[in-house]
């Protein structure tokens, strides 16, 4: 049986803490803006994702230790928000809305075009060159602009199959 695209979501070897050096400085700066350190959970998780590209169980344990929260609590938050990656992803993360209104306008074909042109092959998998991961998401709040796509932090509306090769070239 195939292990699937997320099989690498476990770190092995000695753990390298995230909150050292410049990342620790950044965390301290963030903590100074909150009345209690636990309230800084979301930005602390962002720092981890920026530093490592995804958030492993061991990263969650470190965040919990630093903020005085249990690993289970941290995991509950990470798993609640789809913006946090629980497995390694490509350099560029593509999110395509495939909820019904976009789907009737051709979103499935836009997804297929991204999977083909990025060479990801399947949803959630990372392309062989490590550059891309493509996922489907629920409504992005731009139902009148099908098909809306998020490429990293960039919102692109009205994406058609024909536009996909150019977009992939632009971000390569």
The binding site for ligand FES (CB under 6 A) comprises 97, 99, 101-102, 139-143, 148
Distance separating alpha carbons of residues 155 and 140, to the nearest angstrom:
9
**Nearer of residues 84 and 145 to ligand FES, judged by Cβ:** 145
- Angstrom CA distances, 25 to 19, 22, 37, 46, stand at 8, 5, 14, 14
Least distance CB 170 / ligand FES (angstroms): 22
**Nearer of residues 72 and 139 to ligand FES, judged by Cβ:** 139
**Other CB atoms within 10 A of residue 154 CB:** 11
**Nearer of residues 40 and 151 to ligand FES, judged by Cβ:** 151
Q: Helix (H, G, I), strand (E, B), or coil: what is residue 31?
A: helix
Least distance CB 110 / ligand FES (angstroms): 11
Least distance CB 113 / ligand FES (angstroms): 16
Q: What dihedral do alpha carbons 50, 52, 53, 59 form, nearest 10°?
A: -100
**Nearer of residues 113 and 140 to ligand FES, judged by Cβ:** 140
Least distance CB 81 / ligand FES (angstroms): 18
């Amino acid at each position: 049986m195939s292990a699937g695209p997320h099989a690498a979501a476990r770190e092995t070897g000695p753990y390298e803490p995230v909150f050292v050096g410049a990342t620790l400085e950044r965390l301290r700066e963030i903590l100074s803006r909150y009345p209690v350190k636990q309230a800084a959970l979301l930005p602390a998780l962002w720092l981890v994702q920026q530093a490592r590209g995804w958030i492993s169980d061991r990263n969650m344990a470190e965040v919990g230790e630093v903020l005085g929260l249990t690993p289970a609590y941290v995991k509950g938050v990470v798993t609640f928000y789809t913006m946090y990656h629980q497995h390694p992803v490509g350099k560029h993360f593509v999110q395509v809305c495939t909820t019904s209104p976009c789907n009737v306008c051709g979103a499935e074909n836009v997804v297929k075009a991204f999977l083909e042109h990025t060479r990801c092959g399947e949803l959630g998998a990372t392309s062989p060159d490590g550059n891309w991961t493509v996922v489907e998401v629920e409504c992005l709040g731009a139902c009148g602009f099908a098909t809306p796509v998020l490429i990293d932090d960039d919102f692109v509306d009205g994406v058609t199959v024909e536009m996909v090769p150019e977009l992939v070239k632009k971000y390569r």
